[in-house]
Chain A
Amino acid sequence: MKYIIIIGCSRTGRVLARELADNHNVAVVDKNLKNLDALKEDFNGKKIWADALDVNTLEDAGIKEADAVFLLTGNDNLNVVVGKASRRKYGVKKVVLQVNDPVKKEIFKEEGLTIINKTDILSEVLKKCIL
């Protein structure tokens, strides 16, 4: 059982949170209450309504104990800034962040950071469909 923090609880974050919560301890952070409300009572994890750029939010979410952090807000820059801090400042072992801009994706490559991009993933899957 791992402790996982998911920052950004729109569609992707929500699906991920629900699935991971079956077997792990999950905390989700979002500054938009609607996104958190969309995770219904049956969600077996912690919901935190706060600003992820505030280190108090990260610490309240238990980042010091986290095994993994996902950054799935739609904001590339926020994902990068908080992702880097999770790695450098809090030493989280696995940090996965979504960066949609391909140029930024290359620049911010760093050990311990897994940078994903929806378009890349989708095109991989699409290719596999016909090959």
Chain B
Amino acid sequence: MYIVIAGAGRLGLILAKGLQEKKHQVCLIDKDKRLCNLLAREFDKIMVVCGDATFPDVLRDAQIEKANVTVAATSTDEDNIIFSYFAKELFGVKRTVSRVNNPKHTPLYKYMNVDNPVDSTSIIAGVIEEEASFSDVMTLLSIKKGRLSIVRVDIPENSPIANKSLKEIKLPSNSVLISVLRGPEIIIPSGSTTILAGDEVIATTLINTEEDLTKALIGKV
């Protein structure tokens, strides 16, 4: 794939290196001349274009019309929006991904038809919340606009399934236990796997059975 990234800051650079290692062709665009010179010398496999990525001429230099994907990774939201808009509207790039620096700016990304605004602040907030959470059930991932979710459940001492094997446990329909985390150990459970208090159980469930699943695993809602 050919990927054009606007903004060679920390994010842009990490992405460029990672994608290049996976054998993708990568082009980085940045305004900072000194940085561009440095990068061009250090990474001979990454194409570096020096210029303002919100100008069509600069994008032409980056051969953006050949890109399969563009990534807007500058620290300025209006620049990310205009870059993605040009990529799509002027150069026909199919997929435009963009970093959202300030979550309050997300609606404007949507009004300007950026395909995938990635709101890093909210994502990190979610991860931190998950790490710091004391609740027994945590949604790790929701798919299909939340209809299907993958949840993590901490099994308490008084759980109705503690010390029972999977065979003996009756789960609500539309729910599956997919793994058990016990300290450093990751167990892909089979019928004979016994659940212990203190285990973290990863399960997948539909939205309307999430409550039943919680009840089955920890005994209350």
Residue ranges of A at the interface with B (Cβ–Cβ < 8 Å):
51, 53-56, 75-78, 80-82, 84-85, 88-89, 101, 103-104, 107
Write the nearest CB–CB distance from B98 to chain A, whole angstroms. 12
Write the nearest CB–CB distance from B215 to chain A, whole angstroms. 39
B82: chain A residues within 8 A (beta carbon): 77, 80-81
Q: Is the CB of B104 within 8 A of A54?
A: yes
| Bound form: Cα–Cα A99–B82 in Å | 13
Q: Is the CB of A107 within 8 A of B90?
A: yes
User: Contact partner of A53 among B54, B56, B78, CB < 8 A?
Assistant: B78
Q: A77-B78, A89-B111, A107-B90 are in contact. Are A53 and B55 (CB under 8 A)?
A: no
Within 8 A of A (CB), among B185-221: none
Q: A77-B81, A77-B82, A85-B111 are in contact. Are A56 and B90 (CB under 8 A)?
A: no
Within 8 A of A (CB), among B74-90: 76-79, 81-82, 86, 90
B90: chain A residues within 8 A (beta carbon): 107
| Bound form: Cα–Cα A56–B102 in Å | 13
Interface size bracket, B side: 10 to 19
- What residue of chain B has the Cβ atom nearest to residue A85's Cβ? B111
Write the nearest CB–CB distance from A92 to chain B, whole angstroms. 13
A-B pairs with lowest CB-CB distance, top 9: A54-B104, A77-B78, A78-B78, A77-B82, A55-B107, A85-B111, A53-B105, A81-B78, A81-B81
- What residue of chain B has the Cβ atom nearest to residue A106's Cβ? B56
B112 in the interface (beta carbon within 8 A): yes
Within 8 A of A (CB), among B43-93: 54-57, 76-79, 81-82, 86, 90
Q: A54-B102, A77-B78 are in contact. Are A82 and B108 (CB under 8 A)?
A: yes
Write the nearest CB–CB distance from B124 to chain A, whole angstroms. 19
Q: Is the CB of B112 within 8 A of A53?
A: no
- What residue of chain B has the Cβ atom nearest to residue A88's Cβ? B111
| Bound form: Cα–Cα A107–B91 in Å | 13
| Bound form: Cα–Cα A101–B79 in Å | 14
- What residue of chain B has the Cβ atom nearest to residue A82's Cβ? B108
Within 8 A of A (CB), among B89-128: 90, 102, 104-105, 107-108, 111-112
Q: A77-B54, A103-B56 are in contact. Are A55 and B108 (CB under 8 A)?
A: yes
B108: chain A residues within 8 A (beta carbon): 53, 55, 81-82, 85
A85: chain B residues within 8 A (beta carbon): 107-108, 111-112
| Bound form: Cα–Cα A123–B79 in Å | 29
B55: chain A residues within 8 A (beta carbon): 101, 103-104
B104: chain A residues within 8 A (beta carbon): 51, 53-56
B54: chain A residues within 8 A (beta carbon): 76-77, 104
B76: chain A residues within 8 A (beta carbon): 77
A53: chain B residues within 8 A (beta carbon): 77-78, 102, 104-105, 108
Known: A81-B108, A82-B108, A103-B56. 16 other contacts (CB 8 A): A53-B78, A53-B105, A54-B102, A56-B104, A76-B54, A77-B54, A77-B76, A77-B78, A77-B81, A77-B82, A80-B78, A81-B78, A81-B82, A81-B112, A84-B112, A88-B111
Write the nearest CB–CB distance from B26 to chain A, whole angstroms. 24
